[in-house]
Structure 1
């Protein structure tokens, strides 16, 4: 195999492959990127059974063929190469290593037999659903933060649930202490229902960063979902089993609510968090007499209190304690300028809504006072 590719085109592709390929694996070939050259195109593939990525680009193919090269090392080498045309060629007689040349720079990488690289999930015969990249990016940016970082007892909570319900695409993420639900209007009922790992969606977000006008085709099988557009195919394994019924934890009745500026609320949380207890890292929100006060205290350091200007309020007086980190991560994921806060009562979850009325719910922290 021999092909010629511009360094400026090759570098971002290999960076994406290196993010997918595992650093350690019982199968050493999975630490590599599969390079396949044929008929004026070169295809790169990385796969760790949870996430797979395939990207194809136009190139000058001198000799067709393939090889698997160590992904992290290959990406790092190409990143440091000078600008210009990269000449990639397998080395005879076994063609399991490759030379990498740009002008006076020469390197050789030992690789693996491409026959050892596993087949990517087969999506043939599956009819795709089309979604705009803008729709996908908006949803993932809003919900991704709320999924559990690690939950060995309920790994499905590490994922994001996606389903079409009554003409709306519903994205849900929760770690059992906080919850986000984003609803997007779509044309008709779409055959979509799956729970996808947060890691796969994070990679999707990176790849679609500059592709807002792109249409993405979504293929769903029993075990995988594939997002495909232009020259990219991103696969991610699906969680099996039913996602928890989150409707049971969403309050339906509220005793008070208020509206505040998002930036102003974020600033207040950041300041009061400085003196929040290390154990719970909690801040207290108190809605009283048409004012929203935020406070925190630490027995060994002191206390802080700040009044957040409100745009409007109604209902009873209420006081709750919330995990400050959860509040900050929520506010940073929100879009728009105004946040609507709805209180269901002491000890009940607090519901936050952004300009698009997406639901962000945070459970209260139990306190002695």
Structure 2
């Protein structure tokens, strides 16, 4: 194998596929990046057995030559060293040559680096996915939906299914749900699809989704989502992202969400977030994260936290509207801040069904985002 390639494009592809590399792989060859060169271009593949990412660099792009192939071939190169070396090479053009058995020579400017490669035949094959259920979602929307739900997955491996986000697609559209038993995040969006494309019970690891979000384009270009029995494929321009689905049945969370509220408040999201953020500073020092919210008759909210060693923070903020019974309620300020920061809305609606019932946080408007956190019981 012998070729010369643009450093910029090679760096970008290595950056994408390296997100699938883990240092604790039980299969030694998975610590490397598979490098396939054909007359069409270069294909890089990396995997940790749970996720697999493949990036393709074409020979030409926008009329510019990116790769010149002298000899086709394949090799697996150590990901850590290969990635670091490519970043540090002096020239914008890199020459890579593989001699038998799998000895790699990398040249750039006055630099020459030699790496010991591995046999590509020993690298696992890509997952085989039956392409029956395919839907397309704009990249920027998909990233937003992941951001608004993946933060609320459980970090406890005691219940592996809760470390993922539940996906479903039906006549109502695409819905994501995450829940760690203390809080819940839900996002829905309308999506035109036929009944043959519908799916339910698809659970994807929150960590995987966060890595996926890093490679999804920020623009409105479409990402194809291909769902099979135990795998999901995200297909973007010149990039494939495969993920194994989590096994098990996701619990029914619909009963957690109240249909009616005893008290409803509409308040500025910015004012509420900033006030709770300041109160969080003291609650964090106390290692409880508990912040108290008191509704006043003069259409204001009192938000406070205290530390026995430092002092007390009290915030008074106006509300745009308040209906129902006045309540005093305590909650985890970290959970509340996480929920508020992913709601992209100037006005926030809070719904309460009692001092010890779930708190619902939603944006005003048509965007279907729902956040739920459980309150705390305090002695006073």
The bucket for the TM-score relative to the shorter chain is: over 0.9
Output aligned runs, 1:130-145, within 5 Å: 130-145=136-151
Task: Quote the offset at 1:170 in angstroms.
Answer: 0.9
Aligned length in residues: 365
User: Does structure 2 conserve the Cα–Cα contact (< 8 Å) formed by 1:7 and 1:82?
Assistant: no
Deviations 1:153-180 (A, max 9, x none): 2111111111023332111011111101
User: Does structure 1 conserve the Cα–Cα contact (< 8 Å) formed by 2:105 and 2:113?
Assistant: yes
Task: Quote the offset at 1:221 in angstroms.
Answer: 1.4
Equivalent residue for 2:220, pick from 213, 229, 244: 213
User: Does structure 2 conserve the Cα–Cα contact (< 8 Å) formed by 1:342 and 1:351?
Assistant: yes
Q: 1:30 matched to which residue of 2?
A: 30
For the pair 1:368 / 2:375, whether they are aligned, the reply is no
Equivalent residue for 2:262, pick from 246, 255, 263: 255
Equivalent residue for 1:358, pick from 366, 369, 373: 369
Q: 1:67 matched to which residue of 2?
A: 75
Inter-partner Cα distance in structure 1 for 2:168 and 2:141 = 14
For the pair 1:80 / 2:94, whether they are aligned, the reply is no
For the pair 1:337 / 2:359, whether they are aligned, the reply is no
User: Does structure 2 conserve the Cα–Cα contact (< 8 Å) formed by 1:288 and 1:316?
Assistant: no
Q: 1:307 matched to which residue of 2?
A: 316
TM-score between the two structures when normalised by the length of structure 1 = 0.95
Moved more, 192-201 or 36-45: 192-201
Inter-partner Cα distance in structure 1 for 2:124 and 2:329 = 52
Deviations 1:287-335 (A, max 9, x none): 2212111111122222111112211111111111111111111122111
Equivalent residue for 2:327, pick from 307, 318, 328: 318
Task: Quote the offset at 1:14 in angstroms.
Answer: 0.7
Secondary structure of residue in 1 paired with 2:260: coil
Secondary structure of residue in 2 paired with 1:152: coil
For the pair 1:108 / 2:119, whether they are aligned, the reply is no
Q: CA RMSD in A?
A: 1.5
Task: Quote the offset at 1:125 in angstroms.
Answer: 4.6
Task: Quote the offset at 1:135 in angstroms.
Answer: 2.5
Inter-partner Cα distance in structure 1 for 2:131 and 2:344 = 38
User: Does structure 2 conserve the Cα–Cα contact (< 8 Å) formed by 1:17 and 1:71?
Assistant: no
For the pair 1:192 / 2:219, whether they are aligned, the reply is no
Inter-partner Cα distance in structure 1 for 2:151 and 2:107 = 42
Deviations 1:317-369 (A, max 9, x none): 11111111111111221112111111111111100002424100011122111
Secondary structure of residue in 2 paired with 1:279: coil
Q: 1:120 matched to which residue of 2?
A: 126
Inter-partner Cα distance in structure 1 for 2:20 and 2:97 = 24
Secondary structure of residue in 2 paired with 1:275: helix
Task: Quote the offset at 1:242 in angstroms.
Answer: 1.3
Q: 1:161 matched to which residue of 2?
A: 166
Q: 2:64 matched to which residue of 1?
A: none
Q: 2:45 matched to which residue of 1?
A: 45
Moved more, 171-180 or 287-296: 287-296
For the pair 1:279 / 2:287, whether they are aligned, the reply is yes
Secondary structure of residue in 2 paired with 1:240: coil
User: Does structure 2 conserve the Cα–Cα contact (< 8 Å) formed by 1:167 and 1:187?
Assistant: no
Secondary structure of residue in 2 paired with 1:236: strand
TM-score between the two structures when normalised by the length of structure 2 = 0.92
Inter-partner Cα distance in structure 2 for 1:288 and 1:209 = 46
User: Does structure 2 conserve the Cα–Cα contact (< 8 Å) formed by 1:139 and 1:171?
Assistant: yes
Structure 2 unmatched runs, 5+? 59-66
Inter-partner Cα distance in structure 2 for 1:239 and 1:352 = 28
Secondary structure of residue in 1 paired with 2:376: coil
User: Does structure 2 conserve the Cα–Cα contact (< 8 Å) formed by 1:40 and 1:60?
Assistant: no
Structure 1 unmatched runs, 5+? none
Output aligned runs, 1:141-152, within 5 Å: 141-148=147-154, 150-152=155-157
